[in-house]
Amino acid sequence: MVFFASSKSFAEAGSVCDSACHFLEAQTVSVGSVPWCVGSGASEYVQPNDTTLGSGYSNTQAMLQVCTSGAANSAVAPSGGLSDWFLPSQVELWGFNDWSGPGVLCGFGAGGGEAAAWTSSENGKNAADWVGSGDTGGSLPKSSYDNVCPIRAFSS
């Protein structure tokens, strides 16, 4: 489901569209509830770490280098015939949350309950950011379980 479209290109460095992206698309269902990171990245900074539009792909790639399993590993699994999915940055997931409306985030929370998902953005050595469907957000220990809502960037 496309949730962001721009006539002006933006960069999602390292992704298939790199510096010529125009769209962000989210999977319509969570790919599961997992810790943010299992591995050395669970207790150290994962660099680069950014919260902005265009940083989710590079954050995810950095996570894959130090996490043996977790949110990034789940996000990059091929789905729908595509293999360019990644864990969104904080700003990217806020954008999807704003677009999808209250109570719905990546196919969960539609029953009116609070739903939340990991972002690829860190909040200290031992914590990472999450975004919730009730216009909420915060950080949790990286060992905590939360949903994963993969997105992808593309040009056309």
* Residue whose C-alpha is closest to residue 123's, from 103, 145, 140: 140
**Token representation of residue 68:** 């043996």
Over residues 25-68, the pLDDT tens digits come to: 988 777 889 999 999 999 998 887 889 999 999 999 999 999 99
Phi-psi region for residue 130, left (φ > 0), alpha (ψ -120 to 50) or beta? beta
Contact present, 90 and 131 (Cβ < 8 Å): yes
Mean pLDDT of 117-144: 89
**Token representation of residue 124:** 């200290």
Q: Where in the chain are the domains?
A: 31-150
